[in-house]
Amino acid sequence: MKKLKFLLILITVCCAAVSGFSQVGINTITPLSTLDVNGNISVKVITLNGSGAATLISDGVYISINPQATDQEFQLPSAVTYPGRMYFIRNINNTYTAKLTSAGGMIFPKGSTTGSAQIYMWEGNRRSVIVVSDGSNWTYFD
């Protein structure tokens, strides 16, 4: 009888622990989402300088790209490898155009069914973009 009572108590504690950890709150007692943050969020910020070969984007969330020549290439990783990944990308160079490509998948403007292999980012036209992988391709918002 003692073993059964102990087992029931253990199961109750485990179930309470599992349901209690299904949502994480930072600076909130009652999280309403899987991750609920009441406060500011910081993300990794990096600057990538262009080079002779394609400069790979593999780290960071907010990425300042700095082409050193016209149409210098900056390459997103494969959309298939990183479903759900997001990048905020800004061309910080006032003189040179940056070419954004992908190691896998096309790059689609939001709301369009026509993708391309690259997009161009320059002063006054698509200087900043947000790209999101859907597991097959990238969608960009400018």
pLDDT tens per residue, range 51-93 = 989 999 999 999 999 999 999 999 999 999 999 999 999 999 9
Q: Where are the domains of the chain?
A: 2-37, 45-141
The gap from C-alpha 35 to its chain's centroid, in whole angstroms, comes to 16
For the whole model, what pTM was predicted? 0.78
Cβ neighbours of residue 60 closer than 8 Å, sequence gap 6 or more: 43, 44, 45, 46, 87
pLDDT tens per residue, range 109-136 = 999 999 999 999 997 789 999 999 999 9
Q: What is the pLDDT of residue 14?
A: 57
Q: What is the pLDDT of residue 117?
A: 96
| Position 22 confidence tier, pLDDT thresholds 50, 70, 90 | confident
Q: Which amino acid is at 28?
A: T
